[in-house]
Amino acid sequence: MASVRGDQHRFDGRPRQDDVVVAWHEPSSTVVFAVADGVSAAAQSHVGAALVCRTAVNDLLVQLSEDRSGPDWTRVLQAARYQLLMRVARGREPDERDLSEAARTLATTLVAGTVAPAEGGGMRVTLVHAGDSPAWSLQEGRFSLLLSDKNSGPGEITSNAVAALPRLSARTRPLSYLLPSDCVLLVGTDGFGDPLGDGSGVVGELFAQLAMGPPEPRALAHLLDFSRETFDDDRTLLAVWPRHRLSGGAP
């Protein structure tokens, strides 16, 4: 994973508003992650992004260690939302005024998820989101959109409205995918997704090389720090490969 400040924030001397957290749940061989994109109009959105990422990953790790069939994804988003409210409520039970204050100062998108090994060397991916941060599968140089603000699931009619935390849509539900063994899961923020587009341009050509296998960690950060006119937002990208794609890795 890598996360870099965009040119505009570097020029202004402002903090990166993106955040990303990844953890490994060893008993279930599951990668747990969260990616957040702080809303630019919210003055402390970088704090909000950090809070929701850490809360979501911690809650997923706790749930994976419990005796249950699978994570309660609504609980994950509600826990992240509650942390934003408590940040402004300062210890008392949050009320409607705190919701408005948190939305004004800490608003952020969130994508949280898990990746577990599947039969045949593939990956079983589950994603839940609040807001418009996207996710893709990358296979043989082609990018396929798995998640955006315009989809809630295959075949559904959806709204383009962005409900960033602490606002939360009542229709939020997880999406699950079974990715084949030659796929890469990519989860990013708009700073990466906007210049990528449908993957057919020069940015897509640059990142298509990820389909060949994992680069060195710093190499991913180097790739992400490309220059592209008019695209100056913060950029965050998480990439997950099946274990057998690692050099000398086991199935």
Is residue 66, in this structure, part of any structural domain at all? yes
Full domain range(s) for residue 187: 2-245
Q: If we measure between CA atoms, which residue out of 164, 165, 169, 130 comes closest to residue 147?
A: 130
Q: Which residue has the tokens 């990528």?
A: 196
Q: How far apart are CA 209 and CA 110, in angstroms?
A: 26
Is residue 16, in this structure, part of any structural domain at all? yes
Is residue 97, in this structure, part of any structural domain at all? yes
- Over residues 122-164, the pLDDT tens digits come to 999 999 999 988 999 999 999 999 987 544 443 333 333 457 9
Q: Is the pLDDT of residue 49 over 60?
A: yes
Is residue 75, in this structure, part of any structural domain at all? yes
132 burial via Cβ count (<10 Å: 0-12, 13-18, 19+): buried
- Over residues 55-92, the pLDDT tens digits come to 999 999 999 999 788 899 999 999 999 999 999 998 88
Q: What mean pLDDT, rounded, does the chain reach? A: 89
The size of the chain, in residues, is 251
Is residue 250, in this structure, part of any structural domain at all? no
Is residue 251, in this structure, part of any structural domain at all? no
Strand runs (DSSP E) across the chain, as ranges? 2-4, 18-25, 30-37, 110-117, 123-130, 135-139, 142-147, 175-179, 184-188, 235-240
Task: Locate 74 and state its tokens.
Answer: 């609504």
Tell me, what CATH number does 130's domain have?
A: 3.60.40.10
Helices (DSSP H) in the chain: which residue ranges?
7-12, 45-64, 73-89, 96-105, 190-196, 202-207, 217-224
Q: What is the pLDDT of residue 251?
A: 44
The number of domains in the chain is: 1
Is residue 119, in this structure, part of any structural domain at all? yes
Is residue 21, in this structure, part of any structural domain at all? yes
Q: How far apart are CA 234 and CA 72, in angstroms?
A: 30
